[in-house]
Amino acid sequence: MDRGTGSGRRTLTGAVVAVVAAVLVGAVTVGGPPAAAGGQGPRTERVNTAPDGSEAVGGGSYNAAISADGRYVAFDSEADNLVPGDDNDGALVRDVFLRDRRTDTTRRLNAPLGHGNADFATISADGRYVAFNAETGGRYHVYVYEIRTGRLERADLGMDTGYDGGESPALSADGRYVAFVGRQSAVPPEKEEMGRIYVRDRRTGTTRRASRVPTKEGRAFDSPRISADGSRVVYRERSRRGGGPGGDRDWADIHLADLRTGEQRQIDTTADGLPATSGSTDPLISADGRTVAFNSAAKNIVPVPDEARSYVFVRNTRTGAIRRVDGINGNQYADADAIGPDGRRLLLHSYGVEYGLYVKDLKTGQDTLVSPGTDGKPRAATAGPDGMTADGRKVVFESHLDDLVAGDTNHETDVFLRHAR
């Protein structure tokens, strides 16, 4: 998710509603109202609550991430009642919080850094580390928080001359490697507008550039995502003026960097290697590094209907095969928000006709609604690239709507966790 670029657990009461399982390939599993207190089955809970279970006040909560096993949820929030002693006041000032669902406790991770914004957290797959952006000394930097010890470590270090800030982190499965966007405070280098992709090895204390050297002027790099072992990074290369390899309308492309071999490969191409003719965004990579998903308005990657605005595409990095992923019930308007560790499942944000979030099983074609209202019907919501557990059974997301759970009266954007089954 781009920033500025165009990127207390509470048990709910209610009737237990049986959900009819979809048995046909391509069917949609409809989510019902939350299960009764202590019950199992599909249900929704609100994550960003105060220690006494009351609602968040003072601002909205956003950008939720969930650990692979579902124990931890990280998010940023403007609310000031989520932990005791939150003195980071000010208009629209955000903190990063970590909710431990096992112990029903919440921590403010950026508290030791003093006042300033913090946002866009991500959690390592092993559940040991959280990385996030934080504003310190008038600059955004990337920090890694060790959950067990509370230790904070700055990660945007060792970059090229002139690069002294960072944001948009992504973590390898064990937290050893941190991919991030490096920002410069001086005049940008020739051909580059803003930002390079770097990977920090926290074990050796070394940093290397992952994004390619641009061949045209005015390029910028963002949206990094990293494989579980830290060997592969996907990112977006963009330009306000267009003029990518696919033509003047090609304003953004998706690239894959193999840090072991040094290979750079464009991912948003046709099966025979022709570049996309329009912009591509929001790259995702599976934990095993074999699958990359992205969104694109290009019509030459795989044939699409003339009226289509954008589609989701999935590429097998080993075979080069690429496929188009249709939205819900054939709806053309959908984005991929998250991908499962083996590339089988996508978290789709559907809009235009069928609003809401769905987990799509690419093997069976089944779509499971994960943002239902209390009436079981789809509700508009958005999720981040770490919004789904490894098994796809839990999803975290944000929504400004007040009918996803009972008793929502704070008129703020909240973070929710959906148990799909």
pLDDT digits (tens, 9 = 90+) for 17-65: 333 333 333 345 544 444 434 457 899 999 999 999 999 999 999 999 9
| Structure confidence at residue 212 as a pLDDT band (50, 70, 90) | very high
> Under a CB-based contact definition with an 8 Å cutoff, are residues 320 and 266 in contact?
no
| Structure confidence at residue 307 as a pLDDT band (50, 70, 90) | low
Q: The tokens of 167 are what?
A: 């944001």
279, 280, 298 from 306: Cα distances, Å: 16, 17, 11
Per residue, the 3-state secondary structure of 305-327, as one string, reads: CCCCCCEEEEEECCCCCEEEECC
What's the maximum distance between 2 C-alpha atoms anywhere in the chain?
Answer: 62
| Structure confidence at residue 350 as a pLDDT band (50, 70, 90) | confident
Mean pLDDT over each residue of the chain, to the nearest integer: 87
Average pLDDT over residues 359-385: 95
228, 267, 332 from 316: Cα distances, Å: 16, 10, 22
Q: The tokens of 225 are what?
A: 């995502």
Nearest to 70 by CA among 54, 96, 90, 47: 47
Q: Kindly report the backbone phi and psi dihedral angles of residue 193, in degrees, each rounded to the nearest multiple of 5, phi listed first.
A: -80, -50
Q: Which amino acid is at 299?
A: K
> Under a CB-based contact definition with an 8 Å cutoff, are residues 99 and 106 in contact?
yes
Whether residue 249 is predicted with pLDDT greater than 70 in this model: the reply is yes
Contacts of 229 (CB under 8 A, 6+ apart): 172, 173, 289
Q: pLDDT tens digit string along 50-109?
A: 999 999 999 999 999 999 999 999 999 999 999 998 887 766 789 999 999 999 999 999
Q: What is the pLDDT of residue 90?
A: 66
d(CA 335, CA 342): 19
Look-up: residue for tokens 């019902």?
A: 32
> Under a CB-based contact definition with an 8 Å cutoff, are residues 28 and 329 in contact?
yes
Nearest to 195 by CA among 206, 211, 179, 208: 211
Whether residue 127 is predicted with pLDDT greater than 80 in this model: the reply is yes
Least confident of 33-37, 58-62, 159-163, 186-190: 33-37
Average pLDDT over residues 312-323: 95
29, 33, 36, 40 from 15: Cα distances, Å: 19, 7, 6, 12
Q: Which residue has the higher pLDDT, 60 or 11?
A: 60
- Maximum mean pLDDT: which of 36-40, 192-196, 360-364: 360-364
Q: What is the pLDDT of residue 22?
A: 35
Contacts of 250 (CB under 8 A, 6+ apart): 242, 243, 244, 275, 276, 277, 278, 279, 298
d(CA 77, CA 97): 7
Q: What is the pLDDT of residue 194?
A: 77
Q: The tokens of 234 are what?
A: 């996907």
Q: What is the pLDDT of residue 41?
A: 87
Q: Model-level pTM?
A: 0.89
Least confident of 88-92, 164-168, 191-195, 371-375: 88-92
Q: Which residue has the higher pLDDT, 62 or 304?
A: 62
| Structure confidence at residue 190 as a pLDDT band (50, 70, 90) | low
Q: What is the pLDDT of residue 91?
A: 66
d(CA 68, CA 51): 24
Average pLDDT over residues 198-219: 92
Least confident of 83-92, 93-102, 277-286, 344-353: 83-92
- Burial label for 323, CB within 10 Å (0-12, 13-18, 19+), is middle
51, 73, 290, 408, 415 from 37: Cα distances, Å: 18, 21, 40, 17, 19
> Under a CB-based contact definition with an 8 Å cutoff, are residues 33 and 374 in contact?
yes
